[in-house]
Structure 1
């Protein structure tokens, strides 16, 4: 189903956000899957398609640094909203391999990198979901002596990075067993020996500090169980970690999910998944405790911690924890625009939020071929009306989109949804 552009495309006189800064009135040439040239006055080759970028901004394709991807419909939804790469943070190994294979073959889906099976203690999070019949049983790690074999098995099943769970149940009101710090350290060491980056599920301050002290590369959530003290913020900076705040997922546990505003935005609503819109209507009438259970986290604590970490040099990565279903409104694609708005509300400038959406996740995960606009990089590109470095919601006004150099047809999902579903 992948299609390639039949001729080069020249975008003229667009403002270009290159991943870190805005440059006015640039021409950008797309040739095949790559960015061929960037400059003030490029010549259009014979047969090239020429687009007027005046009054518009060209950006790298967006990267969602925390998702859980289970079917190609989700990858299609992500792409419709400008996300050209998803970083999956754990799930079934077989499903992960199918998602990555589909994305490798088709430019009408977002690309994806996968964690496969996350590391947790026997009975630890998310084993409770196995008990509820929501996910299949999976291997766990009882002690440091099992770490090397566990990581080797993840590499064998195709993991691009390693997810480690440090979750004592505070967030969900149910005590859960934890792996020892020695086990977490051994997992990180085994992953690094095999060239894998490590990311820890850490919703609490204690969990975040343990992950940092053990040598983790990144936190999959900002600590949200209370105000973070200066020692934790400074430890994150000294430890060289990155943080994915997942503020939209945390607001989804409250009475005011970010998705309510997103679903009502006329720039976004036509491309939203119809089933998600129907589910959201039901969520609006259900209290969070009934939807999710006891809640022990507050997005305001996460936003404060993330901003203070950022101010000390900790890279922030935009990510949603997008899953969908099970009473949680956060989903693929549309929720990402809520995450960026929440990062700005927390104190980032729109330009800083755009870096969190492009260059920062590419750097954090070693994706050297994307996340910026420069000759030789992948032509994963997003053209929008207006200037999102002044108003980040301008990203919602997508006028053109390319994935791997191929123009993306942004057809409303009502007409095409079944086309993208995958059989398990």
Structure 2
């Protein structure tokens, strides 16, 4: 879609790292054309007065499980312009990624396709329950090269590795052997893929560190982490996606209830999600199964590794559907709120969903506001860099320079 240039005047610019108190930003086509004071206004340009507002890069959710174009649309209407899927059905994931590349009403999408797990390992229980079709597994190191090559053939943008012994799921499950995980990481790196590990326990985190993964898809939540683990994660140069929102969802008081009640957010929420949230069982064991996870342990780990120099990256583990409070778009606002409540400054939290996420996954065309980058942008009232909940007050969203109509009735059809 071709659009006339847009210039936002006299706006505070959070560029993904720093705040510029007042500048002009010119959008021309799908990219940011210029950033600076007193820019010339091109003929025919739309002029927006940004005084009292903050312009930010589009948000990146670095841990989702996305199953529909409707979910990619829901992400976008809350300012999430990119979702990074951490495991799905290859054919379906490819179709969603292709749709996101064509359509301006969907968040952009990157995919892992099938995650690596042991035969019968997590998430094989979802196959038994009928929630997903059977998928290939990894029996030992000898399978690693073949498995990763098949993921490349599937179109994977990154590799997901499950290191899950069943603690998070409430019952024992087969687990990949450490030498198998090392072989998977080596095969991924040989092919230029990042390797991201599902690690909800301290023992899984140690295994991931020793295997040489690039990032952790969860912060460990099964107990307090000792300083040796904090130091090991920092020394290994990993990034961490804490997923505090999904861990808080295992408690009696998911943050999504607060988000759903906020008048700045509620009008754009998926009505079915609101209904599902209203009917969510109060007992976490009824909706999530028996788990020994505590978000406070994950938050403590996240803040400590961050202070040790580890990049934190925002991600929700958003799925959607009855029984799961985390969902697409709105839950990322909850994740950032929880990060601030854990101890990050609002500006530090914003970095996790913009430049840090782009850097972690090698997305060099987004995550910052600078000439030549994608015009994936948000305009919010107030100063989210000083008060994170000001980000709830988004007034405009652009995906590749196209203004998003947040109130439009969504259709899966492209006609």
Shorter-chain TM-score: which interval? over 0.9
Per the alignment, residue 310 of structure 2 pairs with 314
Per the alignment, residue 153 of structure 1 pairs with 150
Per the alignment, residue 126 of structure 1 pairs with 123
Per the alignment, residue 215 of structure 1 pairs with 212
Per the alignment, residue 4 of structure 1 pairs with 2
| Count of residue correspondences | 414
Contact 1:78-1:334 within 8 A present in 2 as well: yes
Distance in 1, matches of 2:44 and 2:131, equals 52
Contact 1:73-1:421 within 8 A present in 2 as well: no
What does the per-residue CA deviation read over 1:316-368, in whole Å, with 9 as the maximum and x for residues that have no partner?
00100000124111000111110000000010000000000100010000000
Per the alignment, residue 165 of structure 1 pairs with 162
Q: Please tell me whether residue 48 in structure 1 is matched to residue 40 in structure 2.
A: no
What does the per-residue CA deviation read over 1:133-165, in whole Å, with 9 as the maximum and x for residues that have no partner?
111100000000100000000000100000000
Alignment partner of 1:257 out of 254, 257, 268: 254
Per the alignment, residue 174 of structure 1 pairs with 171
Per the alignment, residue 243 of structure 1 pairs with 240
Q: Please tell me whether residue 342 in structure 1 is matched to residue 338 in structure 2.
A: yes
Contact 2:63-2:318 within 8 A present in 1 as well: yes
Q: Any idea what SS the aligned residue of 2:54 has?
A: strand
Per the alignment, residue 35 of structure 2 pairs with 38
CA RMSD, Structure 1 to Structure 2 (Å): 1.0
Contact 1:71-1:421 within 8 A present in 2 as well: no
Per the alignment, residue 395 of structure 2 pairs with 399
Q: Any idea what SS the aligned residue of 1:420 has?
A: coil
Q: Any idea what SS the aligned residue of 2:33 has?
A: strand
Per the alignment, residue 329 of structure 1 pairs with 325
TM-score (norm: length of structure 2): 0.99
Per the alignment, residue 105 of structure 1 pairs with 102
Distance in 2, matches of 1:308 and 1:10, equals 41
Q: Any idea what SS the aligned residue of 2:279 has?
A: helix
Per the alignment, residue 183 of structure 1 pairs with 180
Distance in 1, matches of 2:154 and 2:194, equals 16
Alignment partner of 1:135 out of 128, 132, 135: 132
Per the alignment, residue 295 of structure 2 pairs with 299
Alignment partner of 1:359 out of 329, 350, 355: 355
Q: Please tell me whether residue 387 in structure 1 is matched to residue 379 in structure 2.
A: no
Q: How far is the alpha carbon of 1:420 from its aligned partner? A: 2.9
Q: Which runs of 4+ in 1 moved over 6 A?
A: none
Distance in 2, matches of 1:420 and 1:389, equals 35
What does the per-residue CA deviation read over 1:206-255, in whole Å, with 9 as the maximum and x for residues that have no partner?
00110011000000000000000001000000000000000000011110
Q: Any idea what SS the aligned residue of 1:291 has?
A: helix
Query: CA 1:90–1:163 in structure 2 vs 1: closer, same or farther (change >3 Å)?
Result: same
What does the per-residue CA deviation read over 1:275-306, in whole Å, with 9 as the maximum and x for residues that have no partner?
000000001x4311111110110000000000
Query: CA 1:248–1:421 in structure 2 vs 1: closer, same or farther (change >3 Å)?
Result: farther
Per the alignment, residue 411 of structure 1 pairs with 407
Give the unaligned 5+ runs of structure 2: none
TM-score (norm: length of structure 1): 0.96
Q: How far is the alpha carbon of 1:421 from its aligned partner? A: 7.1
Q: Any idea what SS the aligned residue of 2:7 has?
A: strand
Contact 2:233-2:305 within 8 A present in 1 as well: yes
Distance in 2, matches of 1:142 and 1:296, equals 27
What does the per-residue CA deviation read over 1:178-218, in whole Å, with 9 as the maximum and x for residues that have no partner?
11111000000000011100100000000011001100000
Per the alignment, residue 412 of structure 2 pairs with 420
